[in-house]
Structure 1
Amino acid sequence: MDTPVDIVHVMLTMLFALAALHALRHGVRSPGTGRRDRVDHLLHCAMAVAMAAMAWSPGRPLSGRTMTVLFTAAALWFPLTALHHRTPDTAAAIAGRLRPAVGMAAMAWMLRTPHGRAVLSHENPTGDVPVAHHGATLSHTAGTGATGAWVTGLLAVYLLVCAMRSLTRPMPSLRSATAAAHRAAATDPYGHVRDGAMALGTAVMVLMPH
């Protein structure tokens, strides 16, 4: 019988697989979309595929500098491309692209090499560690762990808020539709649902131990 954790992994895998297929379809096949939109969709697809693989990856085989740099660059792509055309509503354009940027940043955060593993790799394998050095190491590790917990918590809370906003946005009784929202819905009718599901799944992955 599957454990509850396995069931969660299966559900997350299905969610990310569907999100990847949807993003890939719009990134490759949608006519009339600009280059920036195509790159956005392909980045979403890559993130969803990596998330689906991470759910079943013991020992963090996906972690490493290359993957971390890739998703850090993806996190910078979204706000920086909003600055390409400077308009009076540039600030609003950047704010509108913060959700995917934070999602990519959360992916890079999850793929980082755990500090504790690096500390262990520098210890003497015979166990002969000076008491003063051992105490300083424990103090530094505790401080890093507290900072990591704060960063993880803030990422999860922000992504949960974004998930609820995206999932309720198509509901006319909860949120008024604007002309921009109508245009977005015409080109990507399930985009809000995909974005909300991705944000929700990412928040769960951030909080889960991998």
Structure 2
Amino acid sequence: MPIRTHRGRAAVYRRLWGWPLRSPKHLAAAAVVLAGVATLIGFLLPEPPPRQDLAEPATTSEPPAHSAVVPTRTPAPPTISVPAEPPPQTAPDPAGLAVVEEWGKAWVDHPVGVDQQQWLAKLRPVTTDEFLTEMASVDPANAGNVITGAATAISATEGAMVVRLPTDIGVLQVTVVRTEAGWRVAQYDKEG
């Protein structure tokens, strides 16, 4: 049966496609119907079978036309396991306290005119290499002049101690660690 309108077939198509744009209700209804049809088609279509060429490697008697370079796997970076509990506290090691006192004497020994390299050379035997690089930024004139008391341990574990060292410019908290070469100063901070 032919379409009998005074505007022809284009008017009928325009009316069908224009229906969703007449109002927001029409647009929402069209979106719901379209989503329902898409879902229904998804349920009715069978799932595709798994590809067989991926599961089994192809075996051919011919050598490959080109060879690919397989990249070597780089090793993973090292990981650090952090213990769930801090290490147990132990009695302070007298050798570690002696190293702090020796470091303190070298730290306050900076007569007028001594340059930084001479001062660091005095600290080198009792300081870790890593901490010496940090100490290179310290001006000896800012260091204390006198140790005013004995070194006392704040906390001690098997491999490290935090020691209080009183000086004329304030109390220092010196961290010493046990290395292969014995106890060495690894850090200091001013209290307060």
TM range (shorter): under 0.3
Q: Select the structure of larger CA radius of gyration.
A: 2
Tell me the TM-score normalized by structure 1.
Answer: 0.18
Comparing both structures, which one devotes a greater share of its residues to helix?
Answer: 1
Question: Greater RCO between the two (CA within 8 Å, min separation 6)?
Answer: 1
Tell me the TM-score normalized by structure 2.
Answer: 0.19
